[in-house]
Amino acid sequence: MFSTDNAADYLERAEMHEQLADATGDEQARKMHQSMAEAYRRKAADAGVIRMVQPEPIITLHVAA
């Protein structure tokens, strides 16, 4: 497997494998590419590029009872 300290490189590889999975008609190849994409996304997350952030509400609705 590809190894680097640059998380953006992992994301690029994940996208490539997602495209390959979408393009193939071979079920086994599709599963392999999907698995590789997931693995590269995990590596990118471990490298710190992906952070899940809870968004703050944009609108607060106050209703009179």
> Which residues constitute the domain of residue 12?
7-46
Residue 50: the pLDDT is 52
Using the predicted structure, report yes or no on whether residue 17 has a pLDDT greater than 60: yes
For the segment 20-25, the average pLDDT, to the nearest whole number, is 93
> Is residue 41 within 8 Å of residue 11, measured between CB atoms?
yes
- The reply to whether 59 falls in a domain is no
For the segment 47-56, the average pLDDT, to the nearest whole number, is 61
The sign of the dihedral angle between the CA atoms of 6, 2, 31, 23 is positive
Binned at pLDDT 50, 70 and 90, residue 31 comes out as very high
- The reply to whether 30 falls in a domain is yes
Structure tokens at 64: 């009179």
Residue 14: the pLDDT is 92
- The reply to whether 41 falls in a domain is yes
- The reply to whether 56 falls in a domain is no
Using the predicted structure, report yes or no on whether residue 27 has a pLDDT greater than 80: yes
- The reply to whether 20 falls in a domain is yes
- Structural domain tally of the chain? 1
- The reply to whether 36 falls in a domain is yes
